[in-house]
Amino acid sequence: MSEPIDAAPILLPPTSLTPHPKNEAIYTGSTSDLDLRESIQRDGILEPLVATSANVVLSGHRRLRVALDLKLDAVPVRRIDPRNEEDEVDLLVAFNTQRKKTATEIYNEAMVLKPYYASRAAERQAEGRRAGAAARHGKSTPDLEPRRRMIDDLAAAIGVKREMLRRIMRVHEAIEGQTAPQRVLEELNEGRLSVHEAYRRVRRCQRLARRREAMDRAIESGDFNYEDELEIQPFDVWEFRRRDNDFHNIAMDGDVIIEGSYGSPPAQLIAHALAYWTKPGDMVVDPMAGRGQVERVARAMRRRAVSFDLVPRADFVAKLDAMTGPPPECPLADLVFLDPPYGLTHKYSKDPRDLSRCVSEDAWLGAVLDIARRWMTVIKPGGRMIVLIGSEYRRKRDQMMDRAWAVGRGLETLGRIERRVQIPYATSMFDPRRTAHAIEHRWMLSRIRELFVIVSRESSS
**Inter-CA distances, 14 with 27, 75, 76, Å:** 20, 6, 9
CATH 3.40.50.150 placement within the chain: 225-460
Task: Say how far apart CA 294 and CA 288 lie, in whole Å.
Answer: 10
* Cβ proximity of 287 and 326 under 8 Å: yes
CA distances from 439 to 149, 424, 445 (A): 57, 19, 9
Residue 425, C-beta contacts closer than 8 angstroms, at least 6 positions apart: 390, 447, 448, 449
The amino acid present at 240, given as its one-letter code, is F
pLDDT for position 460:
46
> Can you give the pLDDT of all 461 residues of the chain as single tens digits?
555 555 688 899 999 999 998 888 788 766 677 888 888 988 888 889 999 989 999 988 889 999 999 999 999 998 888 888 888 888 888 887 767 788 988 898 888 888 888 877 667 666 666 666 666 666 655 555 555 688 888 888 888 899 999 999 999 998 888 777 788 888 888 888 899 999 988 888 887 777 777 777 777 777 778 888 888 999 999 988 766 655 655 444 443 444 454 557 888 999 999 999 999 999 999 999 988 889 989 999 999 999 999 988 888 899 999 999 999 999 999 999 999 987 666 666 777 887 777 778 888 899 999 999 999 999 999 999 999 998 776 655 566 667 888 899 999 999 999 999 999 876 556 677 777 877 887 877 777 889 999 997 665 44
DSSP run (H or E) holding 90 = helix 85-94
Would you tell me which CATH number, out of the four given (3.30.2010.10, 1.20.1530.20, 3.90.1530.10, 1.10.10.10), belongs to the domain 2-94? 3.90.1530.10
Tell me the whole-structure pTM to 2 decimals.
0.61
pLDDT the model gives residue 68 = 92
CA dist., res. 58 & res. 18, Å (int): 9
CATH homologous superfamily for the domain 225-460: Vaccinia Virus protein VP39 (3.40.50.150)
> How far apart (Å, rounded) are the C-alpha atoms in residues 406 and 404?
6
75's CB contacts (< 8 A; 6+ apart) are: 11, 12, 13, 14, 17, 45, 48, 49, 60, 63, 64, 67
In angstroms, the CA 172 to CA 62 distance is: 26
Q: Residue 256 and residue 181: Cα distance in Å, rounded?
A: 7
Give 245's Cβ-side CA count (13 Å radius): 10
3-state secondary structure of 83: coil
Interstrand relation of 75-82 and 2-4 (parallel, antiparallel or unpaired): antiparallel
* pLDDT, position 252: 40
Q: Residue 342 and residue 361: Cα distance in Å, rounded?
A: 11
CA neighbor of 332 nearest in space, from 368, 370, 377: 377
Handedness of CA 395, 399, 401, 402 (dihedral sign): positive
Region for residue 163 given its phi and psi (left: phi exceeds 0; alpha: psi -120 to 50; beta: otherwise) = alpha
What are the start and end residues of each CATH 3.90.1530.10 domain in the chain? 2-94
CB 411 within 8 A of CB 452: yes
CB half-sphere exposure, 68, CA atoms < 13 A: 12
**Is residue 251 within 8 Å of residue 314, measured between CB atoms?**
yes
